[in-house]
Chain A
Amino acid sequence: MSVGTYNSSDIKKGLKLEIDGYPWSIVDFQFVKPGKGQAFNRIRMKNLITGQVVERTYKIVESFQVADVEEVQMEFLYHDGDGYNFMNQESFEQVAIQKDVVGDSANFLLENMKCAVLFYKGRPVSLELPNFVELLITYCEPGVKGNTATGTTKNATVSTGAQVAVPLFIEQGETIKVDTRTGDYVERVRR
């Protein structure tokens, strides 16, 4: 076994492997051995570029290359014609990340926000925002005072330009906390 190679039997959760030209993160695995057959590893893994989660079955004797991936803490600077510009927190090097890589994360990206950027073979391939972000409401219909009923919502535009479904009592000019993983309103932030 050479350095950077893993046998299927040594798989661990969170391990990042190169399979079929993509980097994958191991989500879960189970040793399976049919009575009269050879042993397999049933592996759930997440594609680090597309986010797709799949289950695959590998013989226990099959081996994998470790994926050439690196997670780097970066600060978002600004958005321009070249894409979304980030700065490496350690080297201060700047990188422009294309819109298709940033994807829906652009909805909640704020200047100076610290993000985890995943590089695959030296190329940025995905972006992870902080789980929660505070956003200013730049437009919404006037609030209905005292209406704290849950379940009824209205659309609000936040400072990034994104739309968030908020409760009826929320007013324009207020700040709200949003879960970046789901895009859901969490709570009102009192200033």
Chain B
Amino acid sequence: MTVDPAGLRARAQALAAVRRWFDHHGYLEVPTPVLVPAPAMEAQLHAVSAGNGWLRTSPEFALKRVLAAGLPRIYEVGPCFRDRERGRWHGREFTMLEWYRAGAELTDLMDEVEALVAVTCAALGVVAPASRHDTRPTAAGQWRRVGVRALFRACTGVDLAHATIGEISPDDETWSDAFFRRWVADVEPQLTGPTFVDDWPASQAALARTYTDGAFPTAGRFEVYLGGVELGNAFFELIDAAEQARRFGASNAERIAFGEAPHPVDPAFVAAVGQMPRSAGIAVGVDRLVAAVSGWPGIAPGRVAVAEGAR
């Protein structure tokens, strides 16, 4: 077991400041179950099975049911689990901060992320990046917002709206493989400043709304980057139960194609999607937030972790 007292102190200070911010902004902290009957459906997420169910990969399904039940501003901080993920910026067990806000647009969540990073910076004695709305950047730079298509073209010269798979990446056979290989190799390493990346391809919508007209169909979704690390992912939420059921079916088909077991669909969740208000929600990795603000080379100092061999 590794223990870094200074790292754990920084984490606790950051988390206390984050909780204060939510309390002052009308958010209710809601504890939802860690052990769940149906895990996330995405083919690239691997849930850890436990008991007769799974350990959650995020609190998304449960929090959306709370949102649908009539609580308009909710958040949760707690452990989540994703199997087969390990490295400097990944742990099989990690801490997720997730919040939902009825009536909000994605730009509202960008403003809240800016504010949360600022309170985390203040708690840790670090200069915060200037807001997108400020005219003068700080020493820590200024938040910027860029769409996937423009960003990809700037970093690789490839226009995703018109390029063939081979033009994106000659080594790959599927659009998804080609996109992500170039993303990992040539785009993400250039996201060094505080950045919101939005207008993701509609094929990567997950549980977000899609906008399918135009040359490059997109999802109502953004990812937030700080210090070169992806901190979180936001959705302008899908609130169409039938579309949700269709996507779960497609996810299970994809799981089977990838050689993964299909997951059960929780009908209570699908029904709740149809009762959700127009809303936006976001999940942020707390370990990464603390590490990125602190300038650590990975999440290790802020965590009490068992040795790799004991996984």
Give me the interface of A with B, judged by CB distance under 8 Å: 9, 30-40, 42, 55-57, 59-60
Contacts and interface: CB of A to CB of B under 8 A. Distances in A.
B206 A57 contact: no
A30 B180 CA distance: 15
Chief secondary structure at chain B's binding surface: mixed
14 contacts: A9-B84, A32-B188, A34-B180, A34-B184, A34-B230, A36-B233, A37-B44, A37-B179, A37-B204, A40-B184, A57-B181, A57-B185, A59-B181, A60-B84
Nearest to A33: B85
Contacts of B179: 37
Given A37-B183, A42-B185, A31 B87 contact: yes
Interface of B: 42, 44, 84-90, 176-177, 179-181, 183-185, 188, 200, 204, 206, 223, 230, 233
Contacts, number: 56
B88 A31 contact: yes
A35 B233 contact: yes
Contacts of A32: 87, 89, 184, 188
Contact of B177 (A31, A33, A35, A38): A38
Contact of B181 (A30, A33, A40, A55): A40
Given A59-B177, A59-B181, A38 B44 contact: yes
B191 to A, nearest CB: 11
B85 A36 contact: no
Nearest to B201: A36
A122 to B, nearest CB: 30
Contact of B90 (A31, A36, A57, A59): A31
B93 to A, nearest CB: 15
B14 to A, nearest CB: 22
State the 9 A-B residue pairs at the shortest beta-carbon distance, nearest first.
A31-B87, A37-B180, A57-B185, A36-B204, A40-B184, A35-B233, A57-B184, A32-B184, A38-B44
